[in-house]
Chain A
Amino acid sequence: KAGVTQTPRYLIKTRGQQVTLSCSPISGHRSVSWYQQTPGQGLQFLFEYFSETQRNKGNFPGRFSGRQFSNSRSEMNVSTLELGDSALYLCASSGRGTYGGYNEQFFGPGTRLTVL
């Protein structure tokens, strides 16, 4: 099975712009979660989508939004970019797992966003 793919891999934007990141989950996986990774804050949960519905949300401002399509592909959008939004944005997909029925999360390589 192909793994989680994320596009683009690298992105440079300026303050005030908006950006859209894309994630294609592992075939058959219906849940997609997004995380932000920075040296200072570590890995932080942004939101999770399951069957096109946001099922869970982290503590990020409303400038961060996402959506999921009927084929389970997901996008996240960040509007009015700030310097502090520079980070590695990771997408993880979940399907039926082996640990007592819990859904294991498999991460993509991430999109490195730099805001200038």
Chain B
Amino acid sequence: QQQVKQSPQSLIVQKGGISIINCAYENTAFDYFPWYQQFPGKGPALLIAIRPDVSEKKEGRFTISFNKSAKQFSLHIMDSQPGDSATYFCAASGFGGKLTFGTGTRLTIIP
């Protein structure tokens, strides 16, 4: 019940296109859903996060869509750029500091 399932495992998108990564969770006690971006040799960096009282949150080219009834959330990267090539992790947490992470999506943006 603590799992967060993430798909796809890898994704190739053309420059300027939209990258979409999906996550699903089981534990209804989760109420905070961040996305992290990780480059090789670096720690994960917080990109954007959402709480279930809103269905969408946008920050620049990054948007989280949240569907509470389906227990799913997704990250959309608009106008994808080569610099966005990285591994993306969704995560979820309830009360306290424990984040449960998805398995990661390796995103490659091609010219």
Residues of A whose CB lies within 8 Å of any CB of B are 4, 31, 33, 35, 42-45, 48, 50, 55-56, 58, 90, 92, 94, 99-100, 102-110
Q: Which residue of B lies closest to A98 (CB)?
A: B49
Question: What is the distance, in angstroms, from A67's C-beta to the closest C-beta of chain B?
Answer: 16
A71 CB, nearest partner CB in chain B, Å:
18
- Interface band, chain B: 20 to 34
Q: Which residues of B contact A56 (CB under 8 A)?
A: 96-98
Residues of B within 8 A of A (CB): 32, 34, 36, 41-46, 49-51, 53, 89, 91, 93, 96-104
CB-based contact A104/B34 at 8 Å:
yes
The majority secondary structure among interface residues of chain A is: strand
Asked if residues A33 and B97 are in contact (CB atoms below 8 Å), the reply is yes
Q: Is the CB of B98 within 8 A of A48?
A: yes
Known: A90-B44, A99-B51, A104-B46. A48 touches B101 (CB 8 A): no
Q: Decide if A43 touches B97 in the complex (CB within 8 Å).
A: no
Which of B42, B53, B97 meets A105, CB within 8 Å? Answer: B97
Q: In chain B, what residue has the closest Cβ to A31?
A: B97
